[in-house]
Amino acid sequence: MGLTESQTAGRHGAEGVVATDFPAPERRRSEAHTVRVGHERRRGVRKILPLRGLVDCNGSQWPCAVRDCSLEGMFVQLREESVLQIGVRIEISLALLSCRETRIYRLHAHVVRMQAGGAALRLDRLDSRAYTAMVDTLYAN
């Protein structure tokens, strides 16, 4: 049985239940963590990280440097940017530190934007270990 608006106001002040009592609804949480960068709307933390990786596309591999990264995607710098095209599915191998251990993670992604010097990738199907390693990397002090 839920509480009426007057009951919540009596227990938590005139505004009702305070924000710290419950997590915000998904829509509001996303809006609260959205950062405007140019014309894009990004959710979550996006950090500049000094990561080196290896892009694998259709059996060919190219070294890359991660310029910036989030839980949703990343921008990778490539010497041979013409090797990728928008919409192409790739795998990127990165060494990430998680639980005081560095491991190689193979992340599935697809190319969403190309520009001089590199490609913007949207991450697909992060397994729980890769997700944890990404969180540890992004939120490390």
Looking at residues 52-76, what average pLDDT do you find?
94
User: Parallel, antiparallel, or unpaired: how do β-strands 89-98 and 47-57 relate?
Assistant: antiparallel
Give residue 50's pLDDT: 86
Looking at residues 86-102, what average pLDDT do you find?
91
Of 67, 78, 13, 68, nearest to 44 by C-alpha is 68
Superfamily (CATH H level) for 40-139: predicted glycosyltransferase like domains (2.40.10.220)
Structure confidence at residue 22 as a pLDDT band (50, 70, 90): very low
Structure confidence at residue 3 as a pLDDT band (50, 70, 90): very low
Structure confidence at residue 14 as a pLDDT band (50, 70, 90): very low
- Report whether pLDDT(92) > 90: yes
CB atoms within 10 A of CB 61: 12
Are the C-beta atoms of residues 131 and 105 closer than 8 Å to each other?
no
Question: Which two structure tokens, joined as six digits, stand for 141?
Answer: 């002090």
- Report whether pLDDT(95) > 60: yes
Q: Where are the domains of the chain?
A: 5-32, 40-139
Cα(25)–Cα(133) distance, rounded to whole angstroms? 26
Question: Which two structure tokens, joined as six digits, stand for 90?
Answer: 């790739």
- Report whether pLDDT(68) > 80: yes
